[in-house]
Chain A
Amino acid sequence: MGDIIVLAISCIFVNNILLAQFLGNCPFLGTSKKMETAVGMSMAVVFVMVMAGMITWLVDNYILSTMGLDYLRTIAFILVIASLVQFVEMFLKKSIPGLYAGLGIFLPLITTNCAVMGACLINIKEEYTFLQTLVSSFSYAVGFGLALILFAGVRERVILNRVPKSLQDTSIGLVTAGLIALAFMGFKGMV
């Protein structure tokens, strides 16, 4: 049990998927201008990352490894994630229209979110068990949401200030992200 908690904390804070591993930076910069879109994206990522983590683990352990097809991992994973996103989209549209409307455009965009694929690859590389995969996928997604929502909060404030013209928008956004990453470096050594 203790191991699981340590794993969760290290995935959320120490190895934060956005700020320490640099995965999923496109949505990080793209959807962080408004708090509303940041929350929508975070929810969509939590949902898809946990499901993708479970399914890719099963595919890798029971199909690819047993048949010696490890070199097909990249192709297999991206297909699993793309079809999963499509399936989740159809399912939500039919069964939970409220959540579907809330997630909106972010759901299809997740296919090319490297955080999802990256988390799945890390789970395989670290040779996690199924339970560990479940915990780490969920924690990575929570860490993603935490960083994204924090960043959106800071960015909403930055917009109100007068920024030099050449530094505007993405440029100041990156510097802000750097400062948040600096704060997250403080978690190093915690686990």
Chain B
Amino acid sequence: MAKSVVQEFSKGLWAEVAPFRLVLGLCPVLAVTKTLENGVGMGLATTFVLVGSNILVSMLRNIIPSKVRIACFIVIIATFVTVVELLMQAFTYPLFLKLGIFIPLIVVNCLVLGRAEAYASKNGVVKSLADGLGMGLGFTLSLGLLGAVREVIGTGTLSLPFLYNIPVMGDGYRPFAFMVEAPGAFIALGLMLCLMNLVPKKG
């Protein structure tokens, strides 16, 4: 039991890391990763929703009638998204403004609904929690990584989450501004996917 919980947790970090392996939930991945801080903030918000909805769906899985399950899942997810939206508005207001409409859009992130449908509705509470946490942290790491790459190339500095900006490239560096614009997001993610494919999959 203990071992399998660890497995459920760790698969989200590498073997099935959501944006790269499953290609799910791409919109926030592309849109908010202009900086490391935005990426990590978005990732943590999604993790919160993912863990909360996985736990609740798993607890209610024997009560929800299978015909209306998708609608029930969406209501559960939307509830947690509203919670996280209000929490961020209260405690991390600048980040809330930067992420904008992408916070309410966590509702339609197919990753969250996908985990509820494919995993939490079939497994127990503890395993679902581990799955949600693993998937969420994998998502956070991917967003952070993409954000860091784009920020360093695009602006020459790196914003540590909730701290300050550190210059990485030095004064002589001329920022490659296209990386923080829309096309840079697509191309950076495409090339990172290519690098991921070069490394063989492991458990």
Contacts and interface: CB of A to CB of B under 8 A. Distances in A.
Determine if chain A interacts with chain B.
yes
Main secondary structure of the interface of A (DSSP, over half): helix
A103 interface: no
Contact of B78 (A25, A78, A177): A78
B113 A174 contact: no
B82 A178 contact: no
A178 B107 contact: no
Contact of B26 (A25, A75, A181): A25
Measured as residues with beta carbon below 8 angstroms from the partner, the interface class of chain A is 35 or more
Nearest to A23: B27
Contacts of A24: 27
Contacts, number: 121
A151 B15 CA distance: 29
Main secondary structure of the interface of B (DSSP, over half): helix
Contacts of B189: 174
B190 interface: yes
A178 B184 contact: yes
Contacts of B26: 25-26, 29
16 contacts: A22-B27, A22-B31, A24-B27, A25-B27, A26-B26, A26-B27, A29-B23, A71-B82, A71-B86, A74-B81, A74-B104, A78-B74, A78-B108, A111-B74, A173-B190, A178-B185
